[in-house]
Amino acid sequence: MSYRPISFVCHRAVGACAALMTVIAALLCTPTYAAPIAVKFPEGMTHGFLLVRSLAGEILGQGEMIQTLKEDDLIENQLVFRFKDGSLHDEKVAFSQQQVFTMISYRLVQRGPSFPEQLDVSVDRGTAKYTVRSQEGEDGKEEVLTGQVDLPKDVYNGMLITMSKNLQKGSDETVNVLAFTPTPQAIKVNLHAVDEDPVNIAEVSRKATQYVYTPQIGMIKEFFGKALGKLPAEFHYTCWIMNDKIPSFVQFEGPLQLMGQVVRIELVSPRLSIKNPEDEKISSK
């Protein structure tokens, strides 16, 4: 199955004053531009099921990814995670794949106790309009910000794993994502192929490439971001892509929100809940 990547969404440091936040936002999110990723493996219709776990293995929630193919080779993808504590992560991205991947529109909704900041952000390439609704915690005051933004051709919110699947085996690439600070700013993210790890499929062993996604913000900017609680201690994200004729997603580790808990996202297969007739005969004896 195809699996859509987790996006990078910056959130404002609790208790930081407005002037200081403006300075840090400028430091963290200096726009840089790279080339868009060429389409090597076109996306299509798919429906997948996922689990969200803590790094200790506890199941925190379940998810579904539904991807549909529209007219003019437009892909619409929605990833929804529902947590045991009632939290919701709902991420939608539409993109074209005509020679290169191009993000057309993006929306992310995060609410509930699993997320330090309640978010509803959206951006559209056609209108250049963005909207950011945010509040600190579930009881904070909601703030709304709207405006215009010029999207780089290689901005890939919600698409980093798809981009990784289209890289040459073992190669690195640099792309952009929008960080909402709260205004959207483009930041450069390095997709770095680290190593190959074994993957077991029943009794068959294969290999998966481990990728580390690292936003490039510089040592000084990163230091101040961590000092203010703006960035997590380990400022990177990890995912595994199976090496095959058609590459596929294996696993992702990282926070769904920048200052949120680091989680593990993995595939899960549906199972029939009906019993085997022979099992019923045995149980009735």
The pLDDT tens digits for 139-161 are 888 999 999 999 999 999 999 99
The pLDDT assigned to 124 comes to: 97
Measured in whole angstroms, the distance separating CA 241 from the mean position of its chain's CA atoms is 14
Q: What is the DSSP code (8-state) at residue 263?
A: E
The pLDDT assigned to 284 comes to: 56
The pLDDT assigned to 35 comes to: 79
The pLDDT assigned to 281 comes to: 60
Segment 192-197 long-range contacts (CB within 8 Å, at least 24 positions apart): 193/167, 196/243, 197/240
pLDDT in single tens digits along all 285 residues of the chain: 555 545 555 544 333 333 333 333 444 444 445 679 999 999 999 999 999 999 999 999 999 999 999 887 899 999 999 999 999 999 999 999 999 999 999 999 999 999 988 999 999 999 999 999 999 877 888 999 999 999 999 999 999 999 999 998 878 999 999 988 778 889 899 999 998 999 988 888 999 999 999 988 766 566 666 666 666 666 689 999 998 889 999 999 999 987 788 999 999 998 888 876 666 565 555
The pLDDT assigned to 132 comes to: 96
> CA 257, CA 75: separation in Å to the nearest integer?
24
Measured in whole angstroms, the distance separating CA 149 from the mean position of its chain's CA atoms is 21
Count of beta carbons in the 10 Å neighbourhood of residue 7: 22
Phi, psi of 145 (to 5 degrees): -135, 130
Q: Please report which helix (H) or strand (E) contains residue 136, including its range.
A: strand 129-136
The pLDDT assigned to 114 comes to: 94
pLDDT tens, residue by residue, 110-133: 999 999 889 999 999 999 999 999
Count of beta carbons in the 10 Å neighbourhood of residue 100: 14
> CA 205, CA 186: separation in Å to the nearest integer?
39
Full-model pTM: 0.82
123 close to 184: Cβ distance less than 8 angstroms: yes
197 close to 78: Cβ distance less than 8 angstroms: no
Q: Which of 249, 79, 264, 251 shows the shortest CA–CA distance to 157?
A: 79
The pLDDT assigned to 12 comes to: 44
